[in-house]
Each structure stands twice: as structure tokens, then as C-alpha cells.
Structure 1
């Protein structure tokens, strides 16, 4: 049996592999009732009866993971209270990874991730990995899972380079940074926003998403008043806000909206809280990770007014599956779920769906079913219909702009993925603009 450290040391010490993985990151800019509510076999397949089906759930060891883990645990409980995975008991091992910041050396992050992934695949009983909290860790980890033939459901990572790897075992449960930025830019312009201040951290996630947003705004005829670092060595967020309030480049009255992209909920939350305290009430736009209760905790609920994000999950959805998920989550935890809670939940229910259909733990057969189900019967989860394109990217599903009203996020526009852009700033199938948003349009 291969030793744990033999895989980790061999991969971590292979600098050609590390260099390749770094290049990929740089390309990215560095209880039983819910069982009948999703499509497919409903607890009738017992091909794996009496077995245990082990998965690894990898999550950042920080407060921001609480909702994600809550969604995972709720789904695991429901699966095991029903038929299990084709009769097998679902055994989820929770594996923490070190929280990532843009101040870390990327080489160290890659080496540490290779070691973690190596330890996971050394357990031959673990056939599926769910999670990884960052593109910076999901990209290198995916190489290990591909080599060792483990199915990888990437719940957080949105780097465009993730799909460029073209690993057959890799499935991304969120749109990539380019799609996320394009949706938000298209929506902002459709609402009359034309002049923006862009702020990001120095991570690949932050810089890639911001660059994509800037590019799409430029294509639509918008203007970037300023682009800078949300957090930088030697300058505080308060210093940044003072510059925004008093500088020779632009006036506050010229700003239609901020766009912020960062891995740090602490920095994003502090910026929102201080901006509101200093009288900056204009919209604050961002990618998918702003739809997070962890952000509300840092910023303060009232200060979240006019914060917008991109999301696959619509809390107000009329879908029976989404409504049951919301009811179950609130009953179990006493709070509303956020985007990552829904995606974590769907990842487990998706696995249940395909194992029930195939009646196997063979990852090649599971991968094939995940790819072809787009043309057969897609899975329906809390986030809507889930299917994947040939690169393993989620497709044929609705993507929402969610807007915070000071109490919770509400969906105010809807896009259909794959997106069809026609050179117009009118969002496809967006519905009527929110009155909340109109109040802030000049």
C-alpha cells in the first residue's frame, strides 16, 4: 500500500508540476422528506447495500465555512435517513485547509495543497472530494485528484483556468470569474450605472474578476474612475476611503457604484461597514462570495443595504426543491441559508442522484453520467437545474443578481447560462428593475 507521505513528497517535490500549476493560477490572474423532491431514482436502488461510501469534504478553517458545512451536513443527514447512496451509508470526512490570503507565497500554498490532496487520495476508500475554498487551492489539488482518479466537485473555485485544465474528473458547481463579471457588468449598465470604482485584493480571484469586470464595462461604454487595491501593505481601508472621499481624480458624486472582489470577508465587510459609516450609500457590487452570512456578520446587517452579488441560489425561488431546502435548513439551524449553504447541499444531493442512477462507486462511470445528464434528465437542486458542459462547467441554469435590502438578499434579475449576449445592455430575462435600485440611479 502506498504510503501517505510518498505521494505528497513526490508531488510537492516535483517542481515541474508545481511550476505548471502556478502557471494555471496565473492564467486565472494568479431527514428524509426532501428525498422525493429532486429528480431521478427515489431510494429504490440498493446496489451498494451494506457498504460505506466515503467522501472528503475540504473546507477553509474559518467562520466563513459555517454555512457551507451546514448545507453539507443537512444533505448528508437526509441521504443517510433515506436510502443512502444506492443503499450505501454516506461517510463524510471533514478536512480543513488553511485559509488563503493574498499575502501568502503562492509556492507555499501550492506545496501545502499538494500535501493535503496527497493525504486525501492515500485513503483508497475515498473516491469523491467535495469543496476546496479557493481557486488557489482547487487548481493544484485537481491535478492530484485527476491523477489518482478521484471525482472532484469544486464548490467554491471560479478561476477560468480550472476548466482550462480539461480534467474529466472535475466538475465546477459555480460559473467562472469571466461569467460572473460579465453578468454583473451587464446588469450594472442596464440599471444606468456608468462610472465605477474598482477595488480588489492581490489574489488571482480578485484580480481576474476585477479585470474581467473592467473589460466588460469598457465594451459597454462605461468608465472606470479608479482601480486600486482594497487592502495593501502600508495602507488601511480607512486610508483608502479617505482618498475616495477627497482626491483630485474624481468626486464622490461621480461614482455610480463600487465593484469589490476579494477572498477576505473581513476586508470586504470592513469596507462596507466603514463606507456606510462615512456616508457612502452608493451601491457596492461584487461577485458570488458577497452573498454570505459571514459578510453580513462583519459589515452589520443594516450596512448591507444596496450590496449586490451574483448567485445561482434564489432564496425567493418558487421551486419545490428550493422551498423545501429553505424550510429544512431553517428548521435545522434557525437561520437562513446563503449561497454556499445551497451549493454544499446540492453537491451532496447531486452525488446521491448519480450514484442512485448508476448503482456504482466507479468514478469513471460517475463522471460519464455527470457529463451526459445534460442531454438526459438533469439534476434539480436548491440552486435550480444542475448539468455540465464538456469542460465540466455548470450550464443550462439560471444565474441571479441578488440585491440586499438591509435585511436579506433578494433576486432582482435573472440570466440564463449559457449566456447569449447581443451587444445590448438589456439583460436577457431580467424582469423589472428593483425599485430599490432605481432609487440610486442618477
Structure 2
């Protein structure tokens, strides 16, 4: 049986696989599981619900709120706001759980549901599995009368609380820096430009007019060419591109060259080491990070740990080890001292703060890491579960690894949100990486 939860919550085509009926049941089950301790103490549980601007979010928010209220949870809706803001507000309001409705970088017709426990923490696999188990056996009847939860709309101070939090997290002034910001017509369309302006930067915002249908539409971190062109056109010092729910950030230097999540981590890790903020002298990344990041950290005398793909796995390692910086090549950067999940706006502020503190351009800072050629091919498949153990795939991987030797690596993994299998190859030579990846992708496609 296919697991309901993927690498980042429950995601699917809204009103097709992710229906209002499913959201209602999921909200009720999550409320049952995540507020069990509060019920035993006799205290009324509370929940936060935020969403990105896509049209289906309104429907799913209503269904989730109804499901949670039906189990006796009071719900505070905080409107359109980034995922990291929901995590922060869950803690700041003292709520017992939080929910973000977003499909992140996925196209507008998709949507997703992400849960946070008290304190704004993403859920471990076993808790997600328990929610799914409870959902499949939850009776329709719930509390009655005074036992039914209230739904309050909307928290007027939610965005201001989050902006105040960001201002306190990065206090370096950004005066003199001109930045182009692409908010993907998403959840950060209002707050990201405001946060950067409050810190002193001159902000040129693009794709910051959400209309419920244009989120991620040829813009944001998945269409980096848009901000590359805008940075060059405006003569800006850098560009920052967010995804639909603003938990990630990619950058572009003044010449329009992309600075990805690995390079951003290298810049911040070195900065934090110099400032005595890199606890245990360690950076946490995922297996998808470029080999060049490992080499850069070796040169800087910084340890690097790797986890499975997904910022919650990075978070788990950060929390268990007591580290202070981690992230993904895709631009999910986690700074545990200031947040419980990846925060694209916080990442942008931190990156510009390093520029301001050193007086160096982003291009100069990015030279700390040499990116090795890396080719990633997404292969549509009908059943992700059978690929990795298929004999023909195993043989093809072994052959590729023999060919690359110590000069590269191969990684195959299933997408956590789509029916895709990802084939990644790194090599010293771009053409070799492309050829090896193409051969592997062809094998996967035939399974």
C-alpha cells in the first residue's frame, strides 16, 4: 500500500487526488494525534493554518479547519504566508500544531498539506504514519456543544510578527545593496520585499502579484532565467529567487550567474566559522549536494555530514547533533538558531549580510566553492518502488560507478512528491556526466 505522506507532507492534484474530503479527514486525524496530550490535561488545543496563494488553498484550508474543529481544536487562520512563517507562528502563538497548505515549487493545479507539531517542528515518519492509521479508522462523530472547536479568521498581526522575527535574526544593515527579488507570485510576495527593505536594501520585486492562478508560472526558483535577466537589466548587486511557499532561496550574482544552495551553504558555513557560530564546526547537507561542496569544506577545515534528501532529514540531524547550519542544493537552508525549518527570506538576509560585512560581491564569495559538473534527469515512471532494486538498474549503476571511478559519483532516488525517478551523475567532465546520466535514465525508463 502506498504511503500517504511523501518527503514533505501530503501532496497531489487538488480536487483530484488531494480532495476537500481527504483534507477534512486528515485535519481531524492530525488533530487527534498531535493534541492528545492537551486533551488529557483538560486544556483546549489550538492550531495555526497558513497557505500559499493558489486557488485550491482556500478550499483545503476550510476543509482542514473543519476537520480540526470537529475534534475540539480551536483554529487560527493566518492567511497567505510562507511555510517558515507558519512554523515560527506555531511556536510564537503557543499553538499545539500548525498546518501549511502549499505544493511549494509544484505547478498551480497541485497542492499539499504540511503539518508542524508544537514549537513549529516537522513531523517524524512515525508520527505521520500514526496520523494515517488514525485517519483510516476515525469515527465520523466527534465532540458536541462546547466541545466543538472555533475557527477564527484571520490573525491581523501574523505577518508583522514574522517580519519582526526576521529583523531580529539578521541585524546587519544592507544599505547600498540593490537586490532583485522573484517571489514566484507565491507566499512571500508581500513579506520578502518588506523584510529586505526593512534591513536597508534597495529592492526590485518581480513576480510579486499573485492572483490565485499564477504561482510558479514561469517564475521563481524553478525558472531562474527570469531573475538572471532582471539582475543584468537593472544592474543589481544580486538576485534572490524564492519558490511558491518561500522555504527556499537561490541566488544570482551581478553578472547573472546562478549561486545555488550548495554555494550558499559554503558561503554561510565559512562566515559562521569565522564568527564562532558554526557549532561543532559542522555543516549538514544531503546526498544530493555537489561533491564540490565537500571539497570546499575540506579546504575550510569544516566537517560535512550528509542525510537523505528532504529538509526534515537535515533538520533531524541538526537537532540530534546540535549543529547550527544545514540545507539542500535546491536552496532549503536551515539555521536552527533562528527557525525550525528552511526559510528562504532568512537565507536571503543572511547572504546579503555576508556581502555587507565583507564588502565582497556575491561572485567573489561564491569562489569559495568550485561546482563540479552535475547532470540530473527526471524520469517519469509508473511505480517508483521497483526501480532501485531492479537487476538491470543495479547492473547499470555498477557499470557507471566503475567508469567514473574516484572522479565522480552516481545517485538514483525516487521523487517524494511526483511519479519521477531522479538520476544524478557527477563527473570531472560535463560531457561524461551527461552521457552516463543519459544511459542510466534510459535503463530506468525501460523498467
Q: TM-score range, shorter-chain basis?
A: 0.3 to 0.5
TM-score (norm 2): 0.35
TM-score (norm 1): 0.35
Q: Which has the higher contact order (CA 8 A, sep 6+)?
A: 1
